[in-house]
Amino acid sequence: IELNDKEKVAAEWCLKLKQPCGRFTDTLSQSNWWFLPLLEQKNSLGIVGIYFKDEVVSLNFEQKKLTESVIEYIAQAVLRTQLVNELEQAKVTSETERLRSALLSSVSHDLRSPLASIIGAADTLANFKAEMTEQDQQDLLETIHLEGERLDRYIQNLLDMTRLGHEGLTLKRDWIGVDELIGS
């Protein structure tokens, strides 16, 4: 259903002023729509528009109260959904921060190990080269080379993770069958 311009203005009015409008009200009472705000205390969560055919002239007191009660329940459900989403987002943020902290701790250790090996082997070569056999020198050079490659892999992985972090990962929910879940 698409609202005409007048009905859109009425819906926006209802949302902005947090007051019912349209059918059964003093504001745009000729409209076929009855717009009711979804309120949580004094905050507007949205609106509900109910369409009536021309032959519906009025609602009795019980019908209006029932409709308003249903609208209150809808508002509570919307609020609960928003709160659940906020809680879930807070959990995701907390878990992200925990993982980031664990990653930094791990990265610190993983970068220092090959770096310490490279520095140690280079210092040994620089200070004791004259006293070392050709094979020992080759072994130290091989250690420097291998640890340098290892360090390069760590740095490349860090750069890849940084790119993922900047692009962001979005949680994509989807229904999955129990058989598919058990099978994996």
Backbone φ/ψ region at 116: left (φ over 0), alpha (ψ -120 to 50), beta: alpha
Query: What single DSSP character describes residue 31?
Result: S
> Which of 92, 139, 99 minimizes the C-alpha distance to 120?
139
User: What is the spatial distance between Cα 130 and Cα 64, in angstroms, rounded to a whole number?
Assistant: 99
Q: Which two tokens stand for residue 15?
A: 């949302």
Reported pTM: 0.55
Each residue's pLDDT tens digit, 94-131: 988 888 888 778 778 788 888 999 999 999 999 999 99
> Which of 38, 39, 2, 6 minimizes the C-alpha distance to 23?
6
For range 169-180, the mean pLDDT? 64
59 three-class SS? coil
The full set of domains in the chain, from first to last, is 5-83 (3.30.450.40), 96-170 (1.10.287.130)
Q: What's the one-letter identity of residue 143?
A: T
> Higher confidence at residue 42 or residue 36?
36
Backbone φ/ψ region at 174: left (φ over 0), alpha (ψ -120 to 50), beta: beta
